Each structure stands twice: as structure tokens, then as C-alpha cells.
């Protein structure tokens, strides 16, 4: 299973195996990682699953979808490498992915 690392704002890392087909948001939420709220459950309407993609992975992960671009305006402290975790589906190719969580959702 692809291994994903979520790093909390305070620096605490959480390394998890996430089943391919789930989203990056579900990986965090199902394992109760603090720092992901995901209020809408992955419908891409709330912006509370905001993550920063680690530098090494930015190109491979790619840019936001059109709807995500609108919804991410609901998130705080958005950066160019910000993504909504519910819009990223885990595949084997993402094994080793590292994402950082914002200060608040």
C-alpha cells in the first residue's frame, strides 16, 4: 500500500499506509489525523481539507481542478502549492508522498 506522510503544523509527522482509490483526505480523516476537518465529506465544497504538497511532489501531483480552484478560496493561508486533499486520489505512484497541514482549517 502506498505510504503517505502527513505533517502537522507543529511538525508532528504521521506516516500511514493508505489504500489506493481512497483520497488523501480520507487517509487522514479515517485515521483521525488532527488538522484535517473535511466538513463536507469530500464534495469539494468546504475547503477544510487543505494541505500543502511537499516540494518534491508538486510536479507529480499537478494543479488544481477548476472546482477546486473556486473552493480553495474557503481555505486559510492558501499558497501556490496548496491543494484540497479530497481531490487527490491515492495511487501506487504516490507511494512516499509528503504533505503538510495548515495552522487551521
Rounded Cα distance between 83 and 63, Å, is 8
Rounded Cα distance between 4 and 13, Å, is 10
Q: Which of residues 49-68 bind ligand FES (CB under 6 A)?
A: 49
Which residue ranges make up the site for another protein (CB under 8 A)?
Answer: 37, 39-43, 45-46, 66-67, 70-71, 73-74
Confirm or reject binding of residue 28 to ligand FES (CB under 6 A).
no
With respect to another protein, which residue has the nearer C-beta, 12 or 76? 76
How many other β-carbons are positioned within 10 Å of the β-carbon of residue 41? 13
Q: Least Å distance between CB 73 and another protein?
A: 5
Amino acid at each position: 500500500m502506498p505510504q503517505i506522510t502527513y505533517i502537522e503544523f507543529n511538525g508532528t509527522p504521521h506516516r500511514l499506509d493508505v489504500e489506493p482509490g481512497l483520497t488523501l483526505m480520507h487517509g487522514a480523516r479515517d485515521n483521525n489525523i488532527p488538522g484535517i476537518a473535511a466538513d463536507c465529506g469530500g464534495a469539494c465544497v468546504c475547503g477544510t481539507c487543505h494541505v500543502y504538497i511537499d516540494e518534491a511532489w508538486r510536479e507529480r501531483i499537478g494543479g488544481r481542478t477548476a472546482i477546486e480552484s473556486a473552493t480553495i478560496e474557503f481555505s486559510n493561508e492558501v499558497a501556490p502549492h496548496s491543494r484540497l486533499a479530497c481531490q487527490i486520489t491515492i495511487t501506487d505512484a504516490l507511494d512516499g508522498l509528503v504533505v503538510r497541514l495548515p495552522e487551521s482549517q
